[in-house]
Chains A and B, each alone.
Chain A
Amino acid sequence: MTRFVDLTLNGISTGAIYAAVALALVIIWRSTRIVNFAQGGMLMITTFIASALISSGASYWLAFVVALLSGFVLGGLVERLLMRRVEGKPPLNAVIVTFGLLILLEAVAGMIWGNTPRSFPPAFSIRGYSVGGTRLLFAPNDTFIVLVVLGSAALLALLFRRTTLGLRMRASAFAPEVARLLGVRVGGMLTLGWALASLMGSLAGVLVAPSVFVGPNQFDPILVFGFTAAVMGGLDSPAGAVVGGLLLGLALSYVGGYEGSALVTLAALVILLLVLMVRPQGLFSTPRERRV
């Protein structure tokens, strides 16, 4: 029974990370119809920046904030300088450009910081809570991860639904021509969307870094599972990204705990296929009619 509780709590905490990455992918998909495979590389770079700051003596929280801000700037730059040039081209071209960027960022990180993974401090203690004499596999740091991810997801939802800026961003994504006629700077809104998404990704990077370590390729699985979660939840739905992330985290935690870690990636495949068999556009998408 304790094992089940442990696995559940652990699943929620890793699921929150997947949810953050999935959110980053969903925001970009909604605004520019691009699956941003470079997200894994972008959050890796910002986590390396935080890691470099910490090892040069800065406090954890300063590094945390700098990582998020640099993520924001990096996302905006990538959209402005690179992705804007492939908008309106065949969609696969944008995918290949994000692959190229992912590979380039990983190579650059390797050149600057080397390929050996390095450790990264957690924000809070990783000693599990003790309940009735048994120590749980859930620590204050996990509480922090879950709260920060859910909190920022809620903030994003507020931004998109309750503010004029959010309305402009949604308008630019869904009806760019109309939005432009109404005086919305559509290009700026797309850049902002990429910047916000990349900020969310950086958050995931800093939060997961203590358990996966920081290295050029350390975040690849996070990207794969984040994408799986986003597809599972429905690429058009931020709520779906959060739910998909948590569900995937839980499922993989149970499989890893009871069946061994070798089967985790295979389980992700099976779960994703099962979900897509029932709902080909993800759990939370509204089925859209296909028109001639």
Chain B
Amino acid sequence: MNALLSRARIPAGARAPVIALLAGIVLFVASELLSEYNNLQLATGCYYFAALAGLTLLTGLSGQISLGHGALMAVGAYTAALLIGNEHWPLLGAVLAATVMAALVGLVLGAAATRLRGPYLAGATLAFAVGLPALADKYPGTFGGENGLTIEPPTPPAFLGREFPLERWEAWIAGIGAVVVLLLAENLRRSGMGRAFRAIRDDEIAASLCGYSVARVQLTAFVFSAACAGLGGALLAVVLQLAAPGAFQLQLSLSLLTAIVVGGLGSLAGAVWGAAFLVLLPGWSNDIANSFSLSTKVSSNLPLAIYGVVLIVVMLVWPTGIQGGARAAISRLRRARGRPGTGPGTPRKRELAGAASGPVSPASGGEAALTNQRGDPER
């Protein structure tokens, strides 16, 4: 994506909005073309993406592992469901409030997390993922217990016409959320703060010698990713019209972490792959399981077995995830076609890119393209 943008001579500062705009157009066209069921899948993918984009910045860029983002999604979902169902807030206000609420919880959890590293952080966030849903059981009056909270389906605005399908409207809502997250996350990734994330991930002490406050940077990453998870959870509640404990078991937290690693850790493209993986794989593996005539014992467990095998195989075959595998495959293809120097990161390519974008905006463009080839942020 970066290489394409630099070839298209998009100035560095405008790249995040351009990516977000393109993603918005793709989502809009897709929602117009897809069937109602597929629109629902699109909406599901969009709210997963919102949560995954935050998590991949946290784990991939700032190096903090979290096994608790499912519970942060639950915070967002329950806040949105309470505000829409009981207080009759408008959709936008409820979703924003849910995002803020999750960010606040993330602030508390993140403050505890800044002292913890590696498996200790994993343990603490795992306990969070398992512990928080207990509140729904403890206060069934507020949170609806096992059945959870149901909310009214969102109504498409009148000017879209009476025939406008609900699923497409849900896909639009979730899609807008995903595009906003994409814009913010891409901006953050390219900003000085994004560079601080990477510096701290790679070497804490060196980074603090450079003047970064490790705790503050880590807390920023945690709060941002918690807000993203909260937004994802709120969108989930809107799309499913339900916030129930069953949706936020430990499995959700684990599959979020799994999705970003399998998709490709640290890149937003990887988060897109991860969201697609979470949405599409269950359907496909169910189809496979049902296409053979097997006993119920086997066919009901086959999708799970396929999921497990896919996780293991992807990690063994593509250690850098699907995105890393795709990138390697593309550069191998280019080399095979005898176009030396077009592979990413080769010195020749850097010179070419610098020279090519030089005339457009000599001040920033050339420099940006140059640093960009090394995978660094622009500024």
Contact = CB atoms under 8 A, between A and B. Distances in A.
B203 interface: yes
B116 A280 contact: yes
Contact of A292 (B119, B203, B304, B316): B203
B128 interface: yes
B244 to A, nearest CB: 16
Per DSSP, are chain A's interface residues mostly helix, strand or loop, or mixed? helix
A136 interface: no
A181 interface: no
Interface residues of A, number: 57
Contacts of A104: 304-305, 308-309, 312
Interface residues of B, number: 51
Nearest to B262: A96
Max chain B Cβ within 10 angstroms of own Cβ: one of A270, A276, A292:
A276
A115 interface: yes
Nearest to B135: A266
Interface stretch (A60-68, A81-89, A124-132): A81-89
B124 A276 contact: yes
Interface string B308-340: 111110011001000000000000000000000
A290 B119 CA distance: 16
Contacts, number: 159
Contacts of B250: 220, 224
A252 to B, nearest CB: 11
Interface string B131-142: 111110110000
Interface string A69-113: 000000000000010011001111101110111111111101110
A97 B315 contact: yes
A80 to B, nearest CB: 14
A207 interface: no
A107 B305 contact: yes
A271 to B, nearest CB: 9
B206 interface: yes
B205 interface: yes
B301 A96 contact: no
B203 A103 contact: no
Nearest to A41: B308
Interface of B: 59, 65, 112, 115-120, 122-124, 126-128, 130-135, 137-138, 203-206, 209, 250, 254, 257-258, 261-262, 265, 297-298, 300-302, 304-305, 307-312, 315-316, 319
18 contacts: A92-B65, A92-B257, A92-B261, A93-B315, A104-B308, A107-B302, A107-B304, A224-B127, A231-B124, A235-B120, A262-B137, A263-B134, A265-B131, A268-B130, A276-B112, A282-B120, A290-B204, A292-B206
Closest 3 interchain pairs by CB? A104-B308, A100-B311, A269-B131
